[in-house]
Amino acid sequence: MSLAHALLTSLLEQASSGYDLARRFDKSIGHFWQATHQQIYRELGRMEKAGWIRSEPDPEAGRTRKRTYAVLPAGRNELMRWAAEAAPLADLRDEFLVRLRADAVVGPLDMVPELARRRALHADKLRAYRAIEARDFAPEAEPTRKRRIHHLILKAGIQYEQGWIAWYDEALEVLGEEGAAAPAASTLSVTPGAPEAR
Amino acid sequence: MSLAHALLTSLLEQASSGYDLARRFDKSIGHFWQATHQQIYRELGRMEKAGWIRSEPDPEAGRTRKRTYAVLPAGRNELMRWAAEAAPLADLRDEFLVRLRADAVVGPLDMVPELARRRALHADKLRAYRAIEARDFAPEAEPTRKRRIHHLILKAGIQYEQGWIAWYDEALEVLGEEGAAAPAASTLSVTPGAPEAR
DNA sequence: CTCGACAATGCAACGCGTTGCATAGTTGGC
DNA sequence: GCCAACTATGCAACGCGTTGCATTGTCGAG
């Protein structure tokens, strides 16, 4: 049921078309919750039927089918009710770790290129988040509650990416040296990275 | 398709019954991949039909229905094939962040107890991981490749929990002070936590 | 012996996520 | 005018995860 509530949240921030919502899920909300346009339209249909939202043709739509959705009082009430509930922890769930563990059984497979690729992807994301932070959360700005919360959420993404980057650095250290030689324990030189230094 | 491969991996590590596999998914593998016993049995059935695994009555089962599953060569080949493929990044996806963002729109709701509860749950997990690390990865042990990989995987869980604990500390700092008074910016005293110090 | 808890297995229904595919309108470059 | 790319929407099939429920056997305490 979280997608419906993510959509209610987004629509309360700004009434939008389905397409704009989908784009927002590719971007800002997509940093911590993902959904495809098929899901979004499906959910919008359900929510409209439930009386939580209402749609009308976009005034600037011309002959397109563009409609704008807005939240009704019942939708707002539902969101308030839901937001006060407890949420389950988001468990760590990463297919790559399954592959890594498979490597330990059937390997050695050469995982280093994939480790490097994934580290780079995480670094890209961190860079993007940092750019957003610089743009939207300049330190001299007066923090409103809303801005503080949004910044916290962005920081969640930042810490997530940073943690993974540090882990991939260590993994590359540990698994990357295998191709060089059969390492003796004394030449392993594992420098405990950030995960252990915390 | 990752569950099948997680099961292949687990069975190659140790031939097991469905029940033992389910318990392992509640514990070690469950640190980075989760599955219910219903899923596991469903998948085991498919994999046996596909010729990847074989089951036979457990020699110590007595009159119970306990069966032991083992991987066939076709299953091992499939795992090797799959493990060498690229895996998508695990996106951050956390319902609580949706709730937090909802709070910014319809709040203030009192999120502090939930923040504290979740921080405590993460701390519990970290404690458990640290105990496992001390038990299974004592520094003086000669590291084999397998042990190094397993330790890396455990460290993934550790860094994940640590990152979240630090984030919750900051969130409690930011949102916890609201109940005290209407804070002026000069008394906000946000100490940039670990996420920014990295 | 009874019963609750645990071991061991498994069917089924449903919702959500994924993927494929589709239609229709607009815009701008060639 | 043509066409590719984008805007805007949406149906459908399928697999996976979740949840509920079920049966059968064992064990140990009362």
Give the pLDDT confidence of A78-123 residue by residue, as tens digits. Answer: 999 999 999 999 999 999 999 999 999 999 999 999 999 999 999 9
Residues sharing a CB contact under 8 Å with residue B160, sequence separation 6 or more, in sequence order = A92, A163
Residue B75 sits in which domain range?
2-83
Residue pointed to by tokens 């455990």: B154
Regarding whether A112 and A32 lie in a shared domain, the answer is no
Contact A137, A154 (CB under 8 A): yes
Q: Which nucleotide is nearest to B45 (CA to C1')?
A: C10
Instruction: Please give the protein residue whose CA is closest to the C1' of the nucleotide C25.
Output: A64
Report the percent of chain A where pLDDT is more than 70.
89
**Any domain includes A7:** yes
Residue ranges of A 106-145 with Cβ closer than 8 A to chain B: 106-109, 114, 117-118, 121-122, 142-143, 145
Distances in whole angstroms, Cα of residue A173 to Cα of each of A84, A116, A179, B63: 44, 11, 11, 51
- Using a CB–CB cutoff of 8 Å, tell me whether B35 touches chain A: no
| Chain position carrying tokens 């749950």 | B121
CA distance A144 to chain B (A): 10
Whole-angstrom distance, CA of residue A198 vs CA of residue B165? 11
Query: How does pLDDT run along chain B (198 residues), one tens digit per residue?
Result: 799 999 999 999 999 999 999 999 988 999 999 999 999 999 999 999 999 999 999 888 888 899 999 999 999 999 999 999 999 999 999 999 999 999 999 999 999 999 999 999 999 999 999 999 999 998 877 789 999 999 999 999 999 999 999 999 999 999 987 654 444 443 333 333 333 322
CB–CB of B67/B16 below 8 Å?
no
Q: What is the mean pLDDT of chain A?
A: 88
Interface probe, candidates A147, A159, A168, chain B, greatest B C-beta count within 10 A: A159
In degrees, to the nearest 5, what angle opens at C-alpha A38 toward C-alphas A10 and A60? 60
Classify residue B54 by burial, with Cβ atoms within 10 Å: 0-12, 13-18, 19+. Answer: middle
Two tokens at B150? 């397993």
Longest pairwise C-alpha distance within chain B: 72
No. of H helices and E strands in chain B? 8, 2
Task: Please indicate, yes or no, whether residues A76 and A99 belong to a single structural domain of this protein.
Answer: no
pLDDT at A61: 81
Residues B31 and B106 in one domain: no
Average pLDDT for A42-46: 96
Instruction: Report residue B153 CA to chain centroid gap.
Output: 10
Q: Work out how many CB contacts closer than 8 A connect A with B.
A: 232
Q: Nearest CA to A171 among A124, A104, A106?
A: A104
pLDDT digits (tens, 9 = 90+) for A120-172: 999 999 999 999 999 999 887 778 999 999 999 999 999 999 999 999 999 99
Same domain, A73 and A149: no
CB contact under 8 A, B152 and A171: yes
Q: Which of A58, A60, A5, A71 is nearest to A32 (CA)?
A: A5
Same domain, B15 and B71: yes
Closest Cβ opposite residue A93 in set B33, B82, B195: B33
A34 forms beta bridges with none
pLDDT at A191 over 90: no
* Pair B50, B144 in one domain: no
Q: Would the pLDDT of A30 be above 60?
A: yes
* Cβ–Cβ contact A1 with B under 8 A: no
What does the pLDDT read at residue B7? 97
Distance CA B90, CA B14 (A): 27
Mean pLDDT of A33-49: 96
- Residues of chain B neighbouring A34 (CB-CB closer than 8 A): 91, 93
CA of B122 to C1' of D26 (A): 36
Report chain A residues whose CB lies below 8 A from the CB of B120.
none
Q: What is the mean pLDDT of residues A45-51?
A: 96
State the total domains in chain B.
2
Q: What ipTM describes this predicted complex? A: 0.89
The token duo for B156 is: 């993934």
**A140 and A166 within one domain:** yes
First to last CA, chain A: 36
**pLDDT value for B32:** 96
The reply to whether A50 touches chain B by the CB within 8 Å rule is: no
Is there a single domain that holds both residue A133 and residue A154? yes
A62 lies in the same domain as A120: no
